[in-house]
Amino acid sequence: MTEENIKDLKERKENPITNSSGQLRDVNDYAVSVRNVTKRYRIHYEKNPSLKETIIHLRRTKFIEFLALDDVSFDVKRGETLGIIGPNGSGKSTMLKLISRILRPNKGEVLVNGTISALLELGAGFHPDLTGRENIFINAAILGMKRRDVEKKFSEIVAFSELEKFIDMPVKNYSSGMYMRLGFSVAINVNPDILLVDEVLAVGDQSFQAKCYKVIYDFIKQGKTIIIVSHDLGTIQDLCNRVIFLKNGKIEQIGGPVAVVSSYREFVENIEMERAHEQQKDERKKIFQTIIENNQKVISGEDIDRLAATNLGSNIINRFGSGDAEITDIRLLDSKGQQIDYCKYGDEISIEFDAVFKAEVEDPIFGIRIVDFKGNTVYGTNNRLNNITVGVLKQGDKIKVVFKNKIVLMGGVYYVSPSVGYKDFRTYCDWVNNMLTLNVIKHNKAEGIADLNTNMSIHRSN
């Protein structure tokens, strides 16, 4: 992505193309208008429909209906770049097929203003026995290009695909990457008013991909309308000035890329969390089962690690250990010592926990572990790592352990597990899983777990 492109996109995002009256129903204003579109698929029980079956049963074979799109309406203005995101089976590809007229809606209408080229599948019309050259002509003709135009653009197409050496070879001898590159080159040179892109930007190696993006940017700059379906949310956020979030065939949200992409991310994270939770429940049960079967009084560190890994997304408190010490309380405090429920990036906070010893323990290890909602360990430390030794602690000793931290985490929910362990590092007196919930307030400046507080700048180097 060059600096020019970034600047250009920024301008475009800030000044989306609108007409003065704000009317969308003007014929020349929109490129695609989707009005109350419903699409149902029939899923047949039998492999292929046959005349024999029909005559025997006096009707067509049984089928169930699947509602792919349910009363969807939106307009795409000229020059707009629209992204469509959503989970699998939400109707994204169906939407593109309806716009490109491969499929027809059951209800409603799709109005299209201008010529369309659809990058639904690259090289879909290639004949394996024909050479690259012949396939360029055939594919371009199928995509609606005139022979004369193809001849004019031929060298451009070949140069773009970087297949000069192989152009007179049958495409059956091409590698899959070469195949895709040729397909992309033909499709992109058809020069349509409206470009439909379905998950095909990840073609070829890094340099070719960069070229593909450049072409897309050029399209945007020329004021062409682009509709992109992708799971690559970064691309969507970069390219689009409006995004639709489809869910179960309905528009869940439509609006600016940042807002829609982040709410889609949240949706995906929730699903992931639920799924992981379900999956790990059984595993956790299994581990407990073995612990009970082996009649273990003291749970080893390995077991705890395994249990921690299965505790995804849950703040159910699980407790292990010999009981020689007991963790009685855990608190989150701000820099002034006030107890707080949440914090934000950059805050100086401290995590404190209290422990009471029920027996004599030599050189115990006090530690905390912070995990994110997926169970990834974000941070963990203990007194040994901080070069603190506490000596022998006797029955009845009360200990307060303080961890002073600066929050450099991105927003989200994290869990803190305190522990008191024996000096062997493998067995524990007490270990309380996810005892404290650490809420860090979200800000949308970046993504990930850690906030590296980037100071970004861009310089012209030519």
Partner 1 sequence: MLVYTFVFSFVMRLGIKDYAVFLISALLSWNFLANSVSYGANCIVANSNLVNKIYFPREIIPLSVVFANLFNFILEMTALVIVLIFLGYDFYIYLYWLPVLIIVEFFLVAGLTLLVSALNVFFRDLSHLINILIMIWFFGTPIIYPINMVPERFQAILRYNPMTTITSMFRNMFYNVKYPENLMWPDWKVIVITLAVVAIIFMLGYFIFKRLEPRFAEEI
> Does the protein bind partner 1 through residue 185 (CB under 8 A)?
no
H-run or E-run covering 35: strand 30-44
> Does the protein bind partner 1 through residue 144 (CB under 8 A)?
yes
Alpha helices by DSSP H, listed for 169-246, are 176-188, 206-221, 233-239
From the list 124, 202, 317, 441, which residue makes contact with partner 1 (rule: CB under 8 A)? 124
Return phi, psi of residue 159, to 5°.
-60, -40
> Does the protein bind partner 1 through residue 28 (CB under 8 A)?
no
- DSSP for 149-170, please give it: HHHHHHHHHHHHHT-GGGTTSB
> Does the protein bind partner 1 through residue 222 (CB under 8 A)?
no
CA dist 448 and 216 (Å) reads 27
> Does the protein bind partner 1 through residue 18 (CB under 8 A)?
no
**Residue 79 in 3-state DSSP?**
coil
CA dist 431 and 319 (Å) reads 6
> Minimum CB separation from partner 1 for residue 139, in Å?
9
From the list 136, 143, 201, 355, which residue makes contact with partner 1 (rule: CB under 8 A)? 143
From the list 118, 227, 233, 429, which residue makes contact with partner 1 (rule: CB under 8 A)? 118
Task: Give the interface size with partner 1 as a residue count (CB under 8 A).
Answer: 23
> Minimum CB separation from partner 1 for residue 183, in Å?
10
> Does the protein bind partner 1 through residue 423 (CB under 8 A)?
no
CA dist 91 and 266 (Å) reads 19
373, 416 Cβ separation under 8 angstroms? no
| Alpha-carbon radius of gyration of the chain | 30
Token pair, residue 367, equals 């530690």
> Does the protein bind partner 1 through residue 102 (CB under 8 A)?
yes
Piece in contact with partner 1 (CB under 8 A), picked from 42-50, 69-77, 208-216, 380-388 = 42-50
> Does the protein bind partner 1 through residue 97 (CB under 8 A)?
yes
> Minimum CB separation from partner 1 for residue 8, in Å?
31
350, 402 Cβ separation under 8 angstroms? yes
From the list 16, 49, 114, 255, which residue makes contact with partner 1 (rule: CB under 8 A)? 49
> Minimum CB separation from partner 1 for residue 437, in Å?
49
Number of Cβ within a 10 Å radius of residue 410: 19
Environment class of 49 (CB within 10 Å of its CB; exposed 0-12, middle 13-18, buried 19+): exposed
> Does the protein bind partner 1 through residue 111 (CB under 8 A)?
no
> Does the protein bind partner 1 through residue 121 (CB under 8 A)?
yes
Token pair, residue 398, equals 């009360």
> Minimum CB separation from partner 1 for residue 193, in Å?
15
> Minimum CB separation from partner 1 for residue 55, in Å?
10
Nearer to partner 1, 53 or 354 (CB): 53
Q: Where on the chain is the footprint of partner 1 (CB under 8 A)?
A: 41-42, 48-52, 54, 97, 100-104, 116, 118, 120-121, 124-125, 142-144
